[in-house]
Amino acid sequence: MPGPRVRWPNYPMPSNAIVREHPDSCVIETPPPTPQVLAEYRAAVKYDPQDAQLRLHYGHALQHSGDRDGAIRQFCEAVRLQPDEPCLLVTAGIAFRDAGDIDQAILVLRKALAAGERQASGADEQSEALARWSLSQALELKGEERAAREELRRAVELLLQGARFERASPFLLQQLQAELAEKGWS
């Protein structure tokens, strides 16, 4: 039987970071973690190495500290622990895309979409839209403009569907619609 849960470092993640809303966008501000916070995460992961969510949060902290490779290692380990969790797959896919490993990003983001479809309740519109938007960006970087355009359009359609039921972020929807228009893909 596992021991008591380890206390996670007090570091804001995207879900509870400082959010400033502007008329046409949403900006998430997460300050870089201190060396003490990173040390606390290392200790927490050492104590509970099978906690995928802990590794996800540690990966975000590493990413915000500028350690892209360390972040990718933590995201990949989180995916290894929970291979069918769309959120973890999307996060890893985005990290690969940002690191320039476009083929790996496309592979992981497609796995995220497939995992979302396999879930009994299905992925919510916003999560799927984020995965499709990220996939669109990776496909565009690879030079696959037609496929990129289709994924971005599908992301906007999902957010429009979610907005009807007040389940989607209007800021994300505006950002994707602006990107479609900017590229002339609307």
Domain ranges of the chain: 13-82, 102-186
Name the residue type at position 110: R
Q: Which residue has the tokens 């359609």?
A: 157
Containing H/E element for 22? strand 18-22
Q: Give the residue carrying structure tokens 């900017």.
A: 182
The CA distance from 166 to 131, in Å, is 19
For residue 55, the surrounding DSSP H or E stretch is helix 52-65
Residue 143 is predicted with a pLDDT of 97
Instruction: State the pLDDT at residue 37.
Output: 84
Quote the pLDDT of residue 152: 95
Q: If you classify domain 13-82 with CATH, what class do you get?
A: mainly alpha
- Predicted structure pTM score: 0.78
Residue 75: CB atoms within 10 A of its CB come to: 28
Higher pLDDT pick, 18 / 165: 165
- Helix and strand numbers, DSSP H then E, in the chain: 8, 2
Q: Which residues contact 57 (CB under 8 A, 6 or more apart)?
A: 8, 11, 13, 41
* The pLDDT of residue 20: 39
- Contact call for residues 133 and 114 (beta carbons, < 8 A): no
Residue 125 reports pLDDT greater than 70:
yes
Residue 10 confidence (pLDDT) above 70? no
* pLDDT tops 70 at residue 108: yes
Does 29 score more than 80 pLDDT? Answer: no
Share of the chain above pLDDT 90, in %: 46
